[in-house]
Structure 1
Amino acid sequence: MSREVKLNEALLETATYPLSVATARQEFEDVRLVYADGTEPLAAVLDRVEDEQFDSPDEAQSSIYNSIPAEGVGEPGQSGGEG
């Protein structure tokens, strides 16, 4: 059974660092990230990460955020152009 995790929830803080991307895929293979417009397996996001290793939870989170689709961030129906 998979775990659904929102982007703002702590997840990778429980891992031991440095953490290879391959190890992160294995340790968190049951995790699905919940986006504003759906979900995606964390493993699929990690496949798009260019790093081979994370040195800290902050680095891992930043790399993941940079690899998620822009449509996934924000509230459903929210427009990035509204101010």
Structure 2
Amino acid sequence: MTREVKLNELTALLEAATYPLSVEAARAEFDDVRLVYADGSEPLSALLTRVDDEQFSSPDEAQSSIYSTIPVEGVGEPGQSEGEG
């Protein structure tokens, strides 16, 4: 069964893993996870194929690497800010 995880829930998901964590191990551990974007979704294992790292030393490092591979359209409209009223 596929788990759908919103971007704002990614931190909790990554914190549940044991570190250091290789990218290959992360792909296997999260093979049932689908990240839900503002404009669709993508399997987390597919996104992990695009990261430049071979291993993550912490949840923060994993999250940073993952966020750097998310398409800009996935996080919302360009120029959009939650702080604007």
Residue 44 of structure 2 corresponds to which residue in structure 1? 42
Looking at structure 1, the residues matched to 53 and 78 of structure 2 have their Cα atoms a distance apart, in angstroms, of 30
Give TM-score, length-normalised by structure 2. 0.88
* CA offset digits 1:3-34 (Å, max 9, x no partner): 00001112110111000000000001000000
Give TM-score, length-normalised by structure 1. 0.90
* CA offset digits 1:20-78 (Å, max 9, x no partner): 0000000010000000000000011100000000000000000000011000002xxx3
Residue 29 of structure 2 corresponds to which residue in structure 1? 27
Instruction: Within 5 Å, give how 1:3-82 maps onto structure 2.
Output: 3-9=3-9, 10-74=12-76, 78-80=77-79
Gaps of 5+ in 1: none
Runs (4+) of structure 1 exceeding 2 A deviation are none
Which amino acid letter does the alignment assign opposite residue 34 of structure 2? R
Tell me by how many angstroms 1:80 deviates.
1.6
Gaps of 5+ in 2: none
Tell me by how many angstroms 1:81 deviates.
6.1
